[in-house]
A and B are shown apart, each in its own frame.
Chain A
Amino acid sequence: MKQVFAITRGMLPVDTSYCPGCTHGVAHRLIMECLEELGELDNTIAVSPIGCSIVAHQYMNIDMCESAHGRAPAVASGIRRVHPDKVVFTYQGDGDLASIGVGEIIHAAHRGEKVTTFFINNAIYGMTGGQMAPTTLLGQRATTAINGRTKESNGSPLRMCELLATIDGAVFVERVALNSPGNVRKAKKAVMKAFEVQKNGLGFSFVEFLSSCPTNWGRAPYEAMEFIKEEMIPYYPLGNFRKPEEF
């Protein structure tokens, strides 16, 4: 019998602790598959964030370190300076990247650090139980905005791809979604391109994944996928915002 699919060597053979319907598992798998296909699993060093995915190092079969909340791009910059020839990436949630870490992500992009950041945007704070994130949508409820986010009280949600695309050093910026098989396939292509940009030494690469948090959205997994499609994608349009000419 011909084997047409196998779990990537890049994922350790353990069950993840993520909730049913959480797309962290999908995002992890796409990244590890790409690294395996590129033959770079043994040459990769990554930084896991504060958030649900601080445990990413329990699942990703590569050298990893934890980082303080938001600081992953700075940590990755330090790693990259010591190892100019390895693949370095950060994996960060929306509180980590768009709130406390907004300074570090902008400056890593500004310096054109040759690292890749994967941004898991699920419009809520997961690990801490559902508080509002900078990317929580207007009208969306959260434990620190129980009647729904309003522009007057909380400002409009932050669009990170659009923001980073204005920075010269951010040479590859793309937003994808994990709500459907078609979108997952496109997401994998973006991950692959982001790594190729890094390997070619072109600058900072960034992929934002519109992701789900069924538990804190108070929705079943299938409804969570609908939420991404009906509510998130209209506000956070999918597509490429910047890429090098040759791509």
Chain B
Amino acid sequence: MEKVLMKGNEAFAEAAIRGGAGFYFGYPITPQNEIPEYMSHELEKAGGSFIQAESELAAVNMAYGAAAAGGSVFISTSSPGVALMQEGISFMCSSEVPVVMLNVSRGGPGVGGIQPGQADYFQATRGGGNGDYHVPVFAPASIQEAIDMIYGAFEIADKYQNPVMILADGMLGQMMEPVSLPEAKRMATYEEIRANKPWAITGKGPRSERNVIKSLRLQPDVLEAHIHRLFEKYDRMEKELVRYETYGEPDPEIVFVAFGTVARLVAETMDILTERGYKAGMIRPVTLWPFPFDAFARISDKTRLVVSVELSMGQLLTDVKAAVCGRVPVGLINRTGGVVPTPVEIADRAIKQLKALD
């Protein structure tokens, strides 16, 4: 397939359009400004509709409305914008409305910085909106992987009637790589929306019953039953959506766990360790929720140390510890604030931690 050199953010936007997204609502925020800019002139060419919303709070609610009405919706923002969208995410999960969301994450907390970070891990996987719900979270490590994830996310969102999140970082958004773009799907027609999404609010028309999309259920037993129904969906997602990749030698003495662009740094780190006579492996979660706990069953008794490598203060580490379950010592190699470690730095720290075990 023909490859084209593209900037991450523009590739993400193009992938969404090709995935059938007819509607985009966004607000400028670094490091993803290229996405609303691209959408503002390209989306209408594909027959869609773009709004530069007055805030991320408005954007996520526009997304909820458009998706409730049966539209295929894509929204993007960066970390502080995701904080504003939490209300909307909780609403969409309870109302069972499908939206594809992209976080091009940066340093926090607060306004933080504009360099890459991974400290939205808890925000993405533990929710930050109120109540019990889950959102599948995909973590790409290359622009191509992000394109494929965004393109495929619309079907997943529709299948489960749930928001889906792609968690990229500022580095992926700003860098340029050669990529192949998938074939464009056209936007659904009104008849297709009514046929494929009979629950959507499209105007009652010839339906005998009108549709109501809601999240308020004041009777406790009714709300409990609803939540259990949502969790049946999440159980299915856990079985059907979980993905990870493993790399390196069999029986490694050190296993790294890393996602996104950090996994690429760790891949180079593993080469350095091999040169220095250490056997290393890596588990790369591709879905952060559902987290690939099963991948850790393959840790052999030759493994002496599992290390979470992350651009945060131990968020990924929490799930790594739960997955390892005390079988093997678990360590942390991290930078934050937008600082990105070099493979040499990661290798040096890993060797230090291995030696400390002796």
Contact = CB atoms under 8 A, between A and B. Distances in A.
Contact of B203 (A65, A74, A86): A86
Contacts of A176: none
Nearest to B87: A68
A231 interface: no
Contacts of A111: 51
A20 interface: no
A74 B62 contact: yes
Interface stretch (B64-72, B141-149, B153-161, B347-355): B64-72
A83 B69 contact: yes
A240 to B, nearest CB: 27
A63 B199 CA distance: 10
B210 A74 contact: no
Contacts, number: 126
Contacts of B25: 78
A167 interface: no
Given A42-B203, A45-B201, A57 B65 contact: no
Contacts of A67: 61, 64-65
Interface in A120-167: none
B232 interface: no
A54 B216 contact: yes
Contact of A65 (B59, B95, B204): B95
A71 B58 contact: yes
A103 B65 contact: no
A43 interface: yes
Interface in A51-98: 54, 57, 61-68, 71, 74-79, 81-83, 86-87
A82 B70 contact: yes
A77 B69 contact: no
Contacts of B95: 65-66
B203 A78 contact: no
A68 B213 contact: no
A47 B214 CA distance: 10
B246 interface: no
A78 B69 contact: yes
A11 to B, nearest CB: 12
A219 interface: no
A79 B23 CA distance: 10
A63 B57 contact: no
A82 B203 contact: no
Nearest to A104: B58
Given A75-B68, A79-B65, 13 more contacts: A45-B69, A64-B210, A64-B212, A65-B212, A66-B213, A66-B216, A74-B58, A75-B62, A75-B65, A78-B65, A79-B69, A82-B22, A82-B193
24 contacts: A41-B204, A42-B203, A42-B205, A43-B205, A45-B203, A47-B65, A61-B210, A63-B202, A64-B210, A65-B212, A66-B95, A66-B214, A74-B53, A74-B57, A74-B59, A75-B68, A76-B65, A78-B63, A79-B68, A81-B66, A82-B66, A83-B202, A103-B58, A107-B53
Interface of B: 22-23, 25, 49, 51, 53-55, 57-59, 61-71, 73, 87-88, 91, 95, 190, 193, 201-206, 210-216
